Structure 1
Amino acid sequence: MKVKINWDALGIATSVACAIHCALLPLFLTSLPLFGYNIIENTVFEFIMIGISFLIGAYSLYHGRKKHHHSWWPLFIFAAGILFLFAKMGWHEWRLWLLAPAVVCIVVSHFLNYRLCRHHDHGHTDDCDH
């Protein structure tokens, strides 16, 4: 039995997890420094989250481009989102202003990839979810 992984869904889930971490986690976990834990402003943790998002997202989008629709647009939009995330790491005073377009770009790239994969008649059914 062949197991199929929906890379778009995994990429979107990773992006949403990153958005939740960046936007909501500070609201709920502001007391962690009192106990000696600091993951809210932990640069290593942030880079690991961005790295995981990049690896899964880039693979997902490249897979869609190569096997289905052959469009680079989802990857370009995704790359812009990742660049916004890295910019957020460098310019902390602008982090909320950089986070919003990062999340929008990443989610839009996966949605566009999903739409292109589903609406492109590529003539084969292997490795397709429809």
Structure 2
Amino acid sequence: MAQPPTSRTWQIADRFGAFASFLCAIHCAALPFVLAVLPLVGLEFLADHRFERGFVIFACALALLTLVNGYRRHRRPASLMLAFPGLSLLLLGVTVAERYPITLHSVLVTCGGLLLASAHFVNLRLDHRQAHVHDAGCAH
């Protein structure tokens, strides 16, 4: 059975997902330290739970879309094995952990964002390996 070709659009979506997940992790790790400064520079919306929930929902939807599609192309579960714990940590962090100290919330969503970014990078790597065809002219 022929595998569907790796689409440039899916690779761009994966790169965007990795970048967004990494930014999310940085945001969540830094938030406890810069919380008091945000209103002074007009960025208080970054500390709003609605903004964070919206971003997490977007990241989860993008991850599921790109990573499941990637699995369909390369049939290797490595990216999904990183994504599912990452998604779980993100969702726990923006729901249950909001009732606890901000440190727990920050740790959960930071780790979740890093796992999700890693899943996107693994997915890109698997796509690259599938797209690379070894032939007589291959240098490695």
TM-score by length of 1: 0.72
Tell me the matched-pair count.
120
Structure 1 outlier segments of 4+, above 4 Å:
32-38
After the TM superposition, which residues 23-102 of structure 1 pair with which residues of structure 2 at under 5 Å, given as runs? 23-25=29-31, 27-28=33-34, 30-33=36-39, 38-67=44-73, 69-89=74-94, 90-91=96-97, 92-93=100-101, 94-102=104-112
Residues 65 and 38 of structure 1: is their aligned pair in 2 closer, same or farther, counting only changes over 3 Å? same
Q: Which runs of 5+ in 1 are unaligned?
A: 124-130
Identity over the aligned pairs, expressed in percent? 26
* Structure showing the higher helix proportion among its residues: 2
Deviation larger for 71-80 or 44-53:
71-80
Q: Which has the higher contact order (CA 8 A, sep 6+)?
A: 2
1:61 maps to a residue whose letter is L
Matched-pair contact (CA < 8 Å) for 1:10–1:56? no
Normalising by structure 2, what TM-score? 0.67
Compare CA radii of gyration and give the structure with the larger one: 2
| Structure 2: segments with no counterpart, 5+ residues | 1-6, 134-140
Structure 1 stretch displaced more, 26-35 or 94-103: 26-35
1:127 alignment partner in structure 2 = none
RMSD over aligned Cα atoms: 3.0
Alpha-carbon contact 2:60-2:87 (below 8 Å) kept: yes
